[in-house]
Structure 1
Amino acid sequence: MAIVLTEKAATKVKEIIKDGQASGQLPTEKLYLRLRVVGGGCSGFQHRLDLDPDVKEKRDEVFELNGVQVVVDKTSLLYMADAHVDYHDELHRSGFSITNPSAKSTCGCGSSFSM
């Protein structure tokens, strides 16, 4: 049940944190990349990525992936087994993507999934 954060995604997360802290838009304390699954979208579930300074020891799991501290709550972890987080920087699309083999189907626009 491993989550993968590609080197490209890890580099982008580090860049966002560094630039955000240097500009004062992000706090200077340690930040974690929080991955979670929330209810929503037309298929029922959505992935969320946030920067979070807090770890709830009783309900979170912390992973070191390509030099990034990644936090996933135990409930979301059940839905994200073997998920693959990547970053794309191309002319037609730019941003993070999550490929989740646990998802049975996705909506037409790809922003939500069902289990």
Structure 2
Amino acid sequence: MSISLTEAAARHVGRYIESRGHGEGVRLGVRTSGCSGLAYVLEFVDKGDTSDEVFESFGVKVFIDPKSLSYLDGTELDFVKEGLNEGFKFNNPNVRNECGCGESFNI
């Protein structure tokens, strides 16, 4: 099982943690939501949970709860800028369908 960050995503997360002045990394998970069933959850982690799986890319830790891991295995988190918009992009090989608005997916 693996989860990774691109260099751009790791730089963005690292800068944000530095500006906060504290934190260990980011937590990536899924929750039931939207018209397709699942949505990504991304939050900063000040202290990891002992049950988390921890992956590291470019010096940034990614924490995954055990329930989300099977949905996220192989996912690469990228940070992209497209015109005036910027944000995280989830490259998840497990996704079968996404809703039209891009807010939810199913496996």
Q: TM-score, normalised by structure 2?
A: 0.92
- Find runs of 4+ consecutive structure 1 residues off by over 2 angstroms: none
How many pairs were matched up? 107
Equivalent positions of 1:1-115 (< 5 A) are 1-21=1-21, 28=22, 30-57=23-50, 59-115=51-107
Structure with greater Cα Rg: 1
Provide the rounded CA distance (Å) in 2 between the counterparts of 1:14 and 1:86.
13
- State TM-score, norm by structure 1: 0.86
Tell me the alpha carbon deviations over residues 20-70 of structure 1, each in whole angstroms, 9 at most, x when there is no partner.
Answer: 22xxxxxx3x3321000111011000011100113221x211112110011
Unaligned stretches of 5+ residues in structure 1: 22-27
Q: Please give the secondary structure, in 2, of the residue aligned with 1:98.
A: strand
Shift of 1:93: 2.5
Q: Distance in 1 between matches of 2:18 and 2:24?
A: 10
CA RMSD of aligned residues (A): 1.2
Specify the SS of the correspondent of 2:68.
Answer: helix
- C-alpha offsets along residues 53-88 of structure 1, whole Å, 9 cap, x if unaligned? 13221x211112110011001110110011110001
Task: Give the distance between the partners of 2:20 and 2:48, measured in 1 at CA.
Answer: 20
Say which SS state the counterpart of residue 18 (structure 2) adopts: helix
8 Å Cα contact 2:4-2:56 kept in structure 1: no
Percent of residue pairs bearing the same amino acid type: 38
